[in-house]
A = this chain, B = another copy of it.
């Protein structure tokens, strides 16, 4: 049976995602990792994202129709997408009041939820 090996590429890609201020897209991950490993191929990024996802080290979240990756184990949280600079941040607040097992009109049984807040980030807000 196969075993996953520890390689410099995987180490760097995982670290880029760990240290990010929010979930990152594939081009962003590739770009940041390349500052450390210039010859890193995009195929390796995709393959590593798939591997890390299977290992539950990271997972994908959908924001604005794009798949972004973030580390797991951050607890319940949501995302903030800046309308000016387009960066996405992780926010450890939950503005939703939904007891588990809530049933909505019509019979929709809610098991979990995802919230994306839109507006201006701390950097862009003062400039507005």
Taking a contact as CB atoms closer than 8 A, the residue among B67, B109, B125 that contacts A125 in the complex is: B109
The reply to whether A89 and B62 form a contact with Cβ atoms under 8 Å apart is no
A95 within 8 Å of B (CB atoms): yes
The oligomer's copy count stands at 2
The reply to whether A111 and B93 form a contact with Cβ atoms under 8 Å apart is no
Taking a contact as CB atoms closer than 8 A, the residue among B63, B89, B97, B106 that contacts A122 in the complex is: B106
**How near does chain B come to A20, taking the closest CB pair, in angstroms?**
16
Stretch at the interface among A29-37, A38-46, A112-120: A112-120
The reply to whether A118 and B125 form a contact with Cβ atoms under 8 Å apart is no
Taking a contact as CB atoms closer than 8 A, the residue among B64, B65, B83, B125 that contacts A107 in the complex is: B125
The reply to whether A89 and B108 form a contact with Cβ atoms under 8 Å apart is yes
